[in-house]
Amino acid sequence: MELTLDGVSKHYGETTALAGLSATVGDGEFFTLVGPSGCGKTTTLRLLAGFEEPSAGEVRFDGESMAGVPPEDRGVGLVFQSYALFPHMTVAENVGYGLRFAEVPGGVSTDERVAELLELVDLEGMGPRDPTELSGGQQQRVALARALAPGPDLLLLDEPMSALDARLRERLRRDVREIQRELGVTTVYVTHDQAEALAISDRVAVLSDGRLEQVGRPRELYRRPSSRFVAEFLGENNVFEGSVVDASGPADETEGSAVRVAGREFRLPPVGAASVAFCVRPAAFEVDAGENRLTGEVLDTEFLGETTRVHLQWEGRRVVVAVDDPPEGGEVTVGFDPEDAWVL
């Protein structure tokens, strides 16, 4: 099922929760909405589910307007942050709940369908149990099975992992991804966790203040952010602002530009403006190497196993670099190459 949001806005009195959001989610795609608290993620999901109607714009499923179509007629499966399982029902009854109102997919009995789903989420034989007898991760699997049982065309997941601890979250997100691929169900996932968004998605939409900042594949967003907001929101980044001292014309594109930041000149890819903001990821820096060097004072080091994150004080600003075996204190010179800088 292909999903379209066409200039969708949502106002609550004076508050604008969404301001003209347009996006298309392809059939079978895993599409993630990510952004800080209050940026409009849950509102978008509620509009897709049909719990709310847009103030302007349109939601379409396979080209068909969803205006006035109630939630139960949209063929949508939902999983929320809180497991929201029915406590007075067994696991099997929970999974079978949605099948009471829908045709059981695959022409099998309700019991067979429930067994199928429990197997899919790796909970075979747990059907007779009470939800309270399950761990948080298992309860969330039941919630997923319940949402998938009627064979929805669209799966909506609102921060489904946020109540789980880090290890369990990673495991469950791999499983969710695998199940989603196996079923090929179009999925919209909401999270405020940028690392999770990058890890799980086919494409990610970064929202800020009810607007779309950027949409793209995880690698593309990470490597080529279109704005300072995206550069800083997705993973750690160093953003520098400077003035271009020799704007190179199109004739010598290979030359690049010299950009002055805090009295120091850096060589960057060609910049066609007088002033510029650019970002350099912590991992792009090396100690005593790279064309563009800076010497800073070590403020703090964090050993992370694979690498060490070092916070440097340089010309009144903080620069974060990820390097092997850095000095514990004092001054250190680090550098990056022009191609590691991304001009915003």
38 scored as a contact of ligand ATP (CB under 6 A): yes
Token pair 């010598």 is at which residue?
252
Instruction: Provide, rounded to whole angstroms, the least separation between the CB of residue 189 and ligand ATP.
Output: 12
Token pair 């670099």 is at which residue?
321
Instruction: Provide, rounded to whole angstroms, the least separation between the CB of residue 217 and ligand ATP.
Output: 22
Q: Which DSSP string corresponds to 44-106? A: HHHHHHTSS--SEEEEEETTEE-TT--GGGTTEEEE-SS----TTS-HHHHHHGGGGSSPPGG
Query: CA-CA-CA-CA torsion for 102, 108, 111, 116, nearest 10 degrees?
Result: -100
H-state helical runs in 206-333: 218-223, 228-233
User: Do 122 and 172 touch, CB atoms closer than 8 A?
Assistant: no
Site for ligand ATP in 191-250 (CB under 6 A): 192
Looking at the Cβ atoms of 50 and 131, the one nearer to ligand ATP is 50
Question: Mask: binding to ligand ATP, 8-27, rule CB under 6 A, as x and -?
Answer: ----x--x-x----------
CA atoms of 60 and 50, how far apart (whole Å): 11
Looking at the Cβ atoms of 39 and 134, the one nearer to ligand ATP is 39
CA atoms of 45 and 31, how far apart (whole Å): 12
Looking at the Cβ atoms of 9 and 226, the one nearer to ligand ATP is 9
By CB under 6 A, which span of 39-47, 134-142, 162-170, 295-303 interacts with ligand ATP?
39-47
CA atoms of 31 and 197, how far apart (whole Å): 9
By CB under 6 A, which span of 32-40, 91-99, 258-266, 280-288 interacts with ligand ATP?
32-40
42 scored as a contact of ligand ATP (CB under 6 A): yes
Instruction: Provide, rounded to whole angstroms, the least separation between the CB of residue 114 and ligand ATP.
Output: 31
How many residues contact ligand ATP, by CB under 6 A?
A: 12
Among 5, 8, 32, 43, binds ligand ATP (CB under 6 A): 43
Looking at the Cβ atoms of 42 and 90, the one nearer to ligand ATP is 42
257 scored as a contact of ligand ATP (CB under 6 A): no
Site for ligand ATP in 290-309 (CB under 6 A): none
Cβ partners under 8 Å of residue 14, min gap 6: none
User: Do 95 and 146 touch, CB atoms closer than 8 A?
Assistant: yes
The residue ranges that bind ligand ATP (CB under 6 A) are 12, 15, 17, 35, 37-43, 192
